[in-house]
């Protein structure tokens, strides 16, 4: 390298994934990018909190690399970011970030308090799944579950009734409870009709 010459920084364009994509834990995420200018090494990383903290995915010493297959780890986040950073000659760097992405695990742990708890399902249960199917740990007895019907009326929900991602639920408990929720499907899109006034 000529003394005093600063080479142009890498210009990286992420092709895949794209903003708004949804992945399940264990999916093989294909990270692909285009490059302008010269790179010596790559650092790939991800954030689950919108870029506040970053975790390593891989360090690639192949200057010709343009893709990496990443096995998505077990976490829940709808604010996941992926960063591809290229280290060029002379210390120049360039990077691009894609996101937000959603990562949905097969199960989630949560704590419910004595009294009223407002919950929704960040997981996507199979059609016809009931509370008994989704809650791997049974709620302590007695307990009461309510939801808001399309007509705007509150109603009690039995453990054997179907549960959906498009609804909110009030759960009344008389003691604290640790629960595990489980579902199998991936959320792609969910359309929810909102009415004037309060919506649950």
pLDDT of residue 191: 57
pLDDT of residue 192: 60
Residue 38's closest CA among 95, 86, 97? 86
Higher pLDDT pick, 136 / 84: 84
Higher pLDDT pick, 126 / 158: 158
Residue 108's closest CA among 181, 171, 177? 181
| Per-position b or e across 80-108, b if 16+ CB within 10 A of its CB | bbbbbbbbbeeebebbbbbbbbbbbbeeb
Residue whose tokens read 């937000």: 100
Question: Quick check: 165 pLDDT over 80?
Answer: no
Question: Mean pLDDT over residues 139-153, rounded?
Answer: 82
Higher pLDDT pick, 103 / 160: 103
Which residues in the chain belong to E strands, given as ranges? 11-16, 22-24, 28-36, 41-47, 55-60, 67-71, 77-87, 93-104, 107-112, 115-120, 143-148, 154-157, 168-173, 177-182
pLDDT of residue 132: 81
Confidence of residue 4 (pLDDT cuts 50, 70, 90): low
The C-alpha atoms of residue 184 and residue 79 are separated, in whole angstroms, by 21
pLDDT per position as a tens digit, 88-142: 998 999 999 999 999 988 777 888 999 999 887 766 677 778 878 888 788 888 9
pLDDT of residue 138: 82
| Range in 21-30, 135-144, 182-191 with the lowest mean pLDDT | 182-191
Tokens of 94: 């360039």
Spatial neighbors of 20 by CB under 8 A, at least 6 apart, are: 100, 101, 102
Q: Where are the domains of the chain?
A: 11-104, 107-182
pLDDT of residue 38: 94
Confidence of residue 169 (pLDDT cuts 50, 70, 90): confident
Tokens of 105: 């695990």
Confidence of residue 174 (pLDDT cuts 50, 70, 90): very high
Fold of 11-104: Immunoglobulin-like (2.60.40)
pLDDT of residue 104: 85
Phi, psi at 178, each rounded to 5°: -100, 125
Cβ-contact 155, 149 below 8 angstroms: yes
Question: Is residue 90 classed as helix, strand or coil in its secondary structure?
Answer: helix
């Amino acid at each position: 390298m000529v003394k005093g010459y600063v080479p142009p920084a890498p210009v990286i364009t992420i092709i895949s994934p794209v903003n708004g994509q949804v992945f399940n834990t264990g999916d093989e995420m294909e990270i692909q990018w285009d490059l302008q200018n010269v790179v010596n090494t790559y650092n790939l990383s991800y954030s689950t909190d919108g870029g506040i903290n970053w975790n390593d995915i891989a360090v690639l010493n192949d200057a010709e690399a343009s893709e990496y297959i990443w096995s998505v780890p077990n976490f829940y986040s709808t604010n996941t970011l992926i960063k591809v950073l290229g280290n060029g000659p002379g210390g120049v760097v360039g990077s691009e970030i894609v996101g937000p992405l959603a990562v949905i695990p097969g199960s989630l742990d949560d704590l419910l308090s004595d009294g009223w708890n407002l919950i929704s399902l960040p997981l996507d249960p199979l059609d016809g799944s009931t509370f008994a199917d989704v809650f791997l740990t049974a709620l302590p007895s007695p307990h009461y579950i309510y939801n808001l019907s399309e007509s705007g009326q509150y109603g009690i929900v039995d453990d054997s009734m179907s549960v959906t991602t498009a609804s909110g639920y009030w759960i009344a408990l008389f003691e604290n409870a640790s629960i595990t929720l489980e579902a199998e499907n991936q959320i792609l899109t969910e359309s929810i009709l909102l009415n004037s006034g309060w919506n649950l």
